């Protein structure tokens, strides 16, 4: 039976960002330097394939520091950790490596600077996301109020005095702008970051999806359901004109009946999804369709972060 033609529109940039590459390399380096097992507090990045690959090399993923023996090294995930976590590691004289993305650390430092001059901080982000927990954990309780979106911004109550806002690095650029606009309208004297908090990779991947989605019948974002930046890409594809957009962790997740009438399929990948999974999805498409590929590149990325030094010892 003759296969139907399918044009795959590949959004670029996509997949791994510099912070994710640095975090994965930090775990790999720790395994090489200290030998297995190396413990990792929380998923190093939100991707099962990556986590399982590191487990195969000798990483053990745990939820809390209490689950780590004092004589083994531990790596903190790319999302950042509350200050109490490295403090506990110091107390236990542990070897630890902090793989927090430098762009998340930038948000932490901003929040601290605002706090030091007496400002109350509004953090725009998603409740229970590890990055938000990490940022809120930089300062004493009550110093930061979480704002989850424009509706929240309309009704949030704030203490008297100066205000500042920061944002989670993996938000929808458009929704964050809406939320910030509400805060600026309600609190005209609010202080903001000198440079955008939403990271370059989140912004670039969303722009690439916006460039591709309007000309697609369907859109697949490769990423994990607990990956904020991947979920935002699905939302962006829908709002940019491709209502048939979904998330898939791997090729095995794809419902081929869902693609039955598709002529042009858009593909992107979240910042924690490796390119090998994109290739896997394209190969699976070739089994069902006669595939031609068009890559739409909105920008080049040349960002690279140095690996963290061993924090103690």
Q: Report yes or no: 251 and 220 within 8 Å, Cβ to Cβ.
A: no
Instruction: Give burial (CB, 10 Å; 0-12/13-18/19+) of 306.
Output: exposed
Give the integer Cα–Cα distance in Å for 19 and 133: 18
- Count CB-CB contacts under 10 A for residue 260: 10
Q: Report yes or no: 146 and 127 within 8 Å, Cβ to Cβ.
A: yes
Q: Report yes or no: 65 and 98 within 8 Å, Cβ to Cβ.
A: no
Bridge partners of residue 120, in order along the sequence: 163
Per DSSP, 306 falls in state P
Has 63 been annotated as catalytic?
no
Per DSSP, 273 falls in state S
Per DSSP, 147 falls in state E
Q: Among the options 55, 131, 295, 300, which is catalytic? A: 131
Residues with a known catalytic role: 131
């Amino acid at each position: 039976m003759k296969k139907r033609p399918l044009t795959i529109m590949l959004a670029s940039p996509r997949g791994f960002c510099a912070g994710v590459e640095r975090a994965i390399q930090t775990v790999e380096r720790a395994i090489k330097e200290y030998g297995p097992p190396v413990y990792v507090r929380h998923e190093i990045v939100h991707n099962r394939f990556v986590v399982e690959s590191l487990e195969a090399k000798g990483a053990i993923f745990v939820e809390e520091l209490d689950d780590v023996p004092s004589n083994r090294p531990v790596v903190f995930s790319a999302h950042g950790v509350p200050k109490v976590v490295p403090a506990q590691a110091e107390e236990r004289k542990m070897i630890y490596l902090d793989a927090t993305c430098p762009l998340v650390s930038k948000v932490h430092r901003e929040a601290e600077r605002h706090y030091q001059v007496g400002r109350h901080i509004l953090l725009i982000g998603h409740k229970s996301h590890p990055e938000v927990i990490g940022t809120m954990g930089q300062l004493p309780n009550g110093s930061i109020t979480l704002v989850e979106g424009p509706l929240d911004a309309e009704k949030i109550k704030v203490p008297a005095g100066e205000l500042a806002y920061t944002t989670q690095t993996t938000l929808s650029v458009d929704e964050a702008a809406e939320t910030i606009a509400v805060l600026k309208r309600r609190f005209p004297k609010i202080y903001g970051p000198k440079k955008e908090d939403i990271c370059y990779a989140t912004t670039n991947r969303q722009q690439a999806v916006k460039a591709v989605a309007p000309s697609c019948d369907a859109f697949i974002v490769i990423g994990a359901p607990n990956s904020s930046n991947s979920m935002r890409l699905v939302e962006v594809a829908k709002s940019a004109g491709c209502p048939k957009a979904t998330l898939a962790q791997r090729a095995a997740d794809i419902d081929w009946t869902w693609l039955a009438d598709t002529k042009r399929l858009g593909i992107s990948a979240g910042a924690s999804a490796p390119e090998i999974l994109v290739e896997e999805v394209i190969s699976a498409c070739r089994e069902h369709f006669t595939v031609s590929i068009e890559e739409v590149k909105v920008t080049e990325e040349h960002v690279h972060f140095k690996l963290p030094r061993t924090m103690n010892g």
